[in-house]
Structure 1
Amino acid sequence: MRTATVLLGFAGCLVTGAAFAPSAFAASLPSAAPVAQEQAYAQRIVNAQFPGQPGEAHAFDHVIQQESTWNPRAVNDTNPEAQGLGQLEQGPRAGTDYQAQLNAALHYMLQRYGTPDAAWAHETTSGWY
């Protein structure tokens, strides 16, 4: 299993896997793409949507870290329908292209919350997004 004990997040944020509870992903398989590659792609798509607003990429990074520890093959043990980087119940399934999963996660955040920052705010108060 790919570990995420220390990851350098967007905009120089330090994100530690210990700060989150990814226990729901113990049965997940490792990803073929390095976490840094996934994060770089995510930063590009979020920054394209929110130019000049680095806080949005930072919030997106936190949501994905909290939901899957950046493992595109993560499957939630309490809801097996929630899979992949964004733990979405619909859309790209676990193990599929990480880019498709990140695009779907961003689309979900935009549709439901308006911004990744608002999604992260909901995640921190409710434990889900």
Structure 2
Amino acid sequence: MVGAGAVGAFALTGDDGTSKVAPDAADAAAAAPAIDPKVLEEQRRSLAKDRASREAREAPAKGPRLMPRGTPIPTKKPKKDSDGGGVPTEGNPVPAGVAQAYAKSIMDDPSTQFGCLQKLWNKESHWNYKASNPSSGAYGIPQALPGSKMASAGADWKTNYKTQIKWGLGYIDDRYGTPCKAWQHSQSVGWY
């Protein structure tokens, strides 16, 4: 049809043959009611939630991986201590729990102090009586420097976790008073 002559509008013919003037897109947008930004945000969140739900339903189920019977269970590689001292956790012939139970049994106040001792010696040696720091020469569970200091607690200081623990607790008592004070010192300066 021929334009109606008005700027921004054109003529349409309806099914009944009558002419109608339709506004252009700019006029239509101006005439449309404003959309509330809160409503738009709510719709965006709803769509995102629906998409996440759909993706979760469509994703393969994650769960324990089943292995054939008789397959050995993989073990994690031993970690190095967190302060970079290089004290290995592997090769400890006495489980840390055994050494910790012994330490707890000879402590003066295990109910308030054992947690600090546990953190301290986890950091130092992971409770490995064979732990040796190649850069400093520190040795054993308490990381005595030099390790031969522990001979004052027993001649078997190199091979007996009990001797090392006795010496370590005596050292902490003499120097810091409590394992928690030793742990606080270690946290502030990196050693005890």
TM-score between the two structures when normalised by the length of structure 1: 0.73
Aligned to 1:38: 99
1:63 aligns with 2:125: no
More helix by share: 1
| Residue number among 131, 138, 141 corresponding to 1:74 in the alignment | 131
Q: How far has the Cα of 1:29 moved from its partner?
A: 6.2
RMSD: 2.6
Q: Which has the larger radius of gyration?
A: 2
Aligned position for 2:141: 85
Deviation track 1:3-31 (CA, whole Å, cap 9, x = no partner) reads 777xxxxxxxxxxx87x3354224x7612
Matches of 1:21 and 1:122, distance apart in 2: 14
CA distance in 2, matches of 1:105, 1:63: 11
What residue ranges of structure 2 are gaps of 5+ in the alignment?
Answer: 1-76
- TM-score of the two chains, using structure 2 as the length reference: 0.51
Q: CA deviation at 1:78?
A: 1.4
Distance 2:85 2:175 in 1: 25
Structure scoring higher RCO (CA < 8 A, sep ≥ 6) equals 1
Residues 1:115 and 2:172 are matched in the alignment = no
Distance 1:4 1:43 in 2: 25
Q: Secondary structure of the residue that 1:100 maps to in structure 2?
A: helix
Q: The residue matched to 2:150 in structure 1 has which SS?
A: coil
Alpha carbons of 1:103 and 1:22: their partners in 2 closer, same or farther (altered >3 Å)?
farther
Structure 1: which 5+ residue stretches go unaligned? 6-16
1:21 matched to 2:77? The reply is no
- Equivalent residue pairs, number: 110
Maintained 8 Å contact 1:70/1:85: yes
Structure-1 separation of matches of 2:144 and 2:171: 8
Identity %: 28
Q: Which residue of 1 aligns with 2:187?
A: 124
Which is further off, 91-100 or 69-78?
A: 91-100
Kept after mapping to 1: 8 A contact 2:96/2:126: no
C-alpha distance 94-69 of structure 1, shift in aligned 2 (>3 A): farther
State the one-letter code of the partner of 2:87.
F
Deviations 1:48-92 (A, max 9, x none): x12xx5221111111110110111101112111x10000012215
